[in-house]
Every structure is written in structure tokens, then in C-alpha cells.
């Protein structure tokens, strides 16, 4: 079914030099912010305590922060959480005091302000648990990447497999770069979003590369660039419908899902948008640059065929 039918092939690869420039710049910037600023790890990874408080009226964050400094705990962070009536308090790990005692201290200090409030949530993660979660999360990303590399290596000729891997890593690095630049909290839900983007992005690359492989068998007299442009154009209807429906759900979570799902849906939004771009303007140009031709991909008998067009 094609709702968005495109009659003439769109010359996507005509703009591969511009796309390569954009991709290289975004890669460099993402790595720069990752090393210069680093990720703002949440309590899930660093350990500590978070307390969510709800007020009946607009909360005065500065007044709450000043009052909590009397507890004599360093690095207490106070910020609005979702609405101006909700406040999230973050406190560093302190093994000398239990979570119940800490919650009671906060309750006592805020009661002195004579403003009605309600403690809605108290969560605490120990330092050892946070370290284990960080290590397990890193291993999860590593094993997913290795699984994707193995799958693509078995399914495609190595040039296309490598191109698909680069396109997938492009999406992940861009997401991490955004979170490092804006210092958005990176927690377990964001890690889950990154893993979801990896699977989502590889699916898009597989669809495009499958059509390219089919076209190499059907369009033997066409150039490699024409074959790829046709493959991308023929899958445009599927791409638009799939990403539009997925993005609609993700944006709904971003707007209405509340603060808990905010960073999760934000990471998915960035990943989906760049997933479309990378499968078309990173994966295919990369395969072209690596030297893919009809003989390599179609798996035909060794014959003299037209070599791939020269690329910079």
C-alpha cells in the first residue's frame, strides 16, 4: 500500500557531499560535548535520594532551596518537576543517614515554611547499586551493538553491513550529544530509549538496503547512484507512514506523559528524526563510498560489469 506515491526518483545522493559535511560536523560536536561536559547522570547511576513534593500553589524554589541548606547536606538540588506546583529535591548519597530519616528531616524543614505540601515520592539508590546499573547499562549497549553487527554481517555484503552500523552509531552518538549539551538527565529510562532507537534505526536501514539489493538485480544497466535513488524513493511511502505513526505516539508521550517519561520520549524523538536521516543520507552514501557495485551485492557470477561511479 502506497499512500504517498512518488512517480519520479528523487536524487537523494546528489546531496551526499552536503550530508557528509553535516554528519561529520554533528559527530565532532557530539563527541566534543560528551568529553567537555559529559552526561548528567541521574540517581539511577550515581546513587543518592530524590524526593518529589507537591504544593497546592506555585512553589517558591529559591525559598525551598534556602530552607533545605539548614540540613547541612552538600549539593542539594531543588527544581520544578513538570508543573510549577511540583518540586523535585535531589540529594547526594549519604550512608550515615537512612532514607526514612532523610525524608523526615526534609519534612521538618519544609514544614517550618508554613506552606501546605505533600511528599508524593521518595526514592534512594545506593552507590554500589548505581555503579552496577551503570556497568550493566554499558554492557547492554555493547551486546546490542555486537548483535546488530552480527545480524547485518550475515544478511548483507560487508560494505552495506558496515554502512548500516555507521548509520546506527550515528543516531546513538547524536542522542548522547544532545543530552550532554543541554545537560538533560541521563537515567535508566533514557538508556532504554537509546536501545530502542538502535533497533528502530537498524530496521530502517535494512528496509532500504533490501530494496537496493533487489534493484541491483532488476536494474543491471543503471548506475549505482540511480539504483540507490530508486530504492530510497520506492520506500518513501513506507518510511513516511511508519515514522509518522511512531512519532505521533512519542510526541504524545512527550507532551502528556509527565516528567517521568519526558526524557525517555525526548530521546526517542531525537532518535527517530535522525534515524530517517541516517538511513538515507548516511547509510547509502557510506556504502557508495566503500565501493559497492552490482557484482558485490547481487551475488552474481563473476562477469565484467560497470564499476561504481567514482566518489570523493
Q: What is the pLDDT of residues 239-286, one digit of tens each?
A: 888 888 899 999 999 988 877 788 999 999 999 888 888 888 888 888
Q: What is the pLDDT of residues 110-157, one digit of tens each?
A: 998 888 999 888 888 776 667 788 888 888 888 888 888 888 888 888
Alpha-carbon gap, residue 117 to 68, rounded angstroms: 15
Q: Which CATH topology does 12-40+130-296 take?
A: Multidrug efflux transporter AcrB transmembrane fold (1.20.1640)
The stretch 66-76 carries a mean pLDDT of 79
| DSSP classification of residue 311 | -
Three cell numbers at 75? Answer: 549539593
Average pLDDT of the chain, as a whole number:
83
| DSSP classification of residue 97 | S
Share of the chain above pLDDT 90, in %: 19
Cβ density class 135-158: b for 16+ within 10 Å, e for less: eebeeeeeebbeebbeebeeebbe
The pairing of beta strand 40-41 with beta strand 185-186 = parallel
Closest Cα to residue 287, out of 295, 297, 277? 297
Instruction: Give the pLDDT of residue 176.
Output: 93
Alpha-carbon gap, residue 26 to 32, rounded angstroms: 10
Return the CATH class of domain 48-125.
alpha beta
Same fold for the domain at 12-40+130-296 and the one at 48-125?
Answer: no
- The structural domains of the chain, with segments of one domain joined by +, span 12-40+130-296, 48-125
Amino acid at each position: 500500500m502506497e499512500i504517498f506515491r512518488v512517480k519520479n526518483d528523487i536524487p537523494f545522493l546528489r546531496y551526499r557531499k552536503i550530508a557528509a559535511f553535516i554528519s561529520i560536523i554533528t559527530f565532532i560536536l557530539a563527541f566534543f560535548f560528551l568529553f567537555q561536559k559529559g552526561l548528567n547522570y541521574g540517581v539511577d547511576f550515581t546513587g543518592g535520594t530524590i524526593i518529589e513534593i507537591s504544593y497546592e500553589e506555585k512553589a517558591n524554589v529559591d525559598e525551598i532551596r534556602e530552607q533545605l541548606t539548614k540540613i547541612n547536606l552538600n549539593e542539594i538540588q531543588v527544581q520544578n518537576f513538570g508543573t510549577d506546583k511540583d518540586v523535585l529535591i535531589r540529594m547526594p548519597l549519604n550512608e550515615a543517614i537512612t532514607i526514612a530519616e532523610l525524608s523526615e528531616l526534609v519534612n521538618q524543614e519544609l514544614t517550618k515554611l508554613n506552606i501546605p505540601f505533600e511528599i508524593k515520592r521518595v526514592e534512594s539508590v545506593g552507590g554500589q547499586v548505581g555503579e552496577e546499573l551503570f556497568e550493566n547499562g554499558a554492557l547492554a549497549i555493547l551486546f546490542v551493538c555486537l548483535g546488530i553487527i552480527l545480524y547485518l554481517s550475515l544478511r548483507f555484503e560487508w560494505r552495506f553491513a558496515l554502512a548500516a552500523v555507521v548509520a546506527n552509531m550515528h543516531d546513538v552518538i547524536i542522542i548522547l550529544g544532545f543530552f550532554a549539551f543541554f545537560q538533560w538527565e541521563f537515567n535508566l529510562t533514557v538508556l532504554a530509549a537509546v536501545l530502542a532507537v538502535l533497533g528502530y534505526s537498524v530496521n530502517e536501514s535494512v528496509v532500504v538496503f533490501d530494496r537496493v539489493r533487489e534493484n541491483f538485480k532488476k536494474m543491471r544497466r543503471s548506475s549505482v547512484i540511480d539504483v540507490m535513488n530508486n530504492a530510497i524513493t520506492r520506500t518513501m511511502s513506507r518510511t513516511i507512514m511508519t515514522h509518522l505513526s511512531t512519532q505521533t505516539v512519542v510526541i504524545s508521550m512527550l507532551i502528556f506523559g509527565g516528567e517521568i517519561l519526558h526524557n525517555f520520549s525526548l530521546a526517542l524523538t531525537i532518535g527517530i528524526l535522525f534515524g530517517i536521516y541516517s538511513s538515507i543520507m548516511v547509510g547509502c552514501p557510506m556504502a557508495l563510498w566503500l565501493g559497492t557495485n552490482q557484482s558485490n551485492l547481487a551475488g552474481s557470477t563473476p562477469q565484467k560489469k560497470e564499476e561504481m561511479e567514482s566518489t570523493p
